[in-house]
């Protein structure tokens, strides 16, 4: 019909403009001019410290990029190692809340409760790849936490404003 062609005309359909030649794939930023692109690379990107590697990116991306340079027991990258990937998948499947896993966990907890035993962590041991990812993302940091805003601080002073706060 004629009304459909009017609805789908170019002025009603919103099209995404094509990415410019100064697009940063790592940061997913479209920079319109060469000067801004070079400024972005100089200010926001850190080059990889591995010899022969030309990758650069923001600091939070470099933590994950360094995993490519970490070698497994067979000498391959842990990111590309099939046994590390299988260990990672097994750990993820064991923790996924599927019906079978929930039933198995509930049965195990009931047996332990009846026998008077302490609850047991029956997850498979994480592989090197998962340990490195957790280390990079500070998931298993332990302690009071790492970073700003965790706990009361070094001298056990409370947060906020008011009398004797933060001095």
Q: Is the pLDDT of residue 144 over 50?
A: no
pLDDT of residue 136: 73
pLDDT of residue 163: 59
pLDDT of residue 145: 47
Residue found by looking up tokens 């195990």 in the block: 108
pLDDT of residue 118: 72
Task: Using alpha carbons, list the distances in angstroms from residue 114 to 21, 82, 109, 119.
Answer: 66, 40, 9, 11
Cβ pair 85, 126 in contact under 8 A: no
pLDDT per position as a tens digit, 7-39:
666 555 666 667 678 888 888 888 888 999 999
CA–CA separation, 72 vs 88, rounded Å? 14
- Within 13 A of 98's CA, how many CA atoms are on the CB side? 7
For 27-73, give the DSSP string.
TTEE-SSHHHHHHHHHHH-EE--STT---EE-HHHHHHHGGGG-B-T
pLDDT per position as a tens digit, 28-71:
888 888 999 999 999 999 999 889 999 999 988 888 888 888 88
- The residue ranking higher by pLDDT, 70 or 4, is 70
The percent of residues in the chain predicted with pLDDT above 90, rounded, is 13
- Beta-carbon count within 10 A of 105 CB: 14
What's the pTM? 0.45
Q: Is the pLDDT of residue 160 over 60?
A: no
pLDDT of residue 31: 86
Which run of H or E residues covers position 76?
A: none
Among 32-46, 73-87, 148-162, name the one with the lowest average pLDDT: 148-162
- The residue ranking higher by pLDDT, 147 or 42, is 42
pLDDT per position as a tens digit, 100-133:
888 988 898 888 888 887 766 666 677 777 777 7
Cβ pair 68, 77 in contact under 8 A: yes
Mean pLDDT (the chain, rounded)? 76
């Amino acid at each position: 019909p004629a009304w459909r062609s009017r609805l789908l005309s170019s002025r009603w359909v919103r099209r995404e403009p094509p990415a410019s030649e100064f697009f940063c794939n790592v940061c997913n930023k479209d920079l319109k001019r060469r000067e801004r692109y070079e400024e972005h690379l100089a200010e926001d990107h850190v080059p990889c410290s591995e010899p022969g590697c030309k990758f650069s990116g923001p600091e939070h991306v470099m933590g994950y990029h360094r995993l490519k340079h970490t070698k497994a027991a067979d000498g391959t990258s842990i990111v590309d190692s099939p046994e590390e990937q299988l260990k990672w998948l097994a750990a993820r499947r064991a923790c996924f809340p599927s019906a079978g896993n929930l039933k198995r966990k509930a049965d195990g907890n009931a047996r332990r409760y009846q026998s008077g035993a302490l609850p047991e962590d029956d997850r498979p041991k994480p592989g090197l790849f998962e340990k490195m990812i957790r280390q990079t993302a500070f998931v298993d940091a332990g302690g009071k936490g790492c970073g700003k805003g965790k706990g009361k601080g070094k001298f056990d002073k409370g947060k906020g404003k008011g009398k004797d706060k933060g001095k």
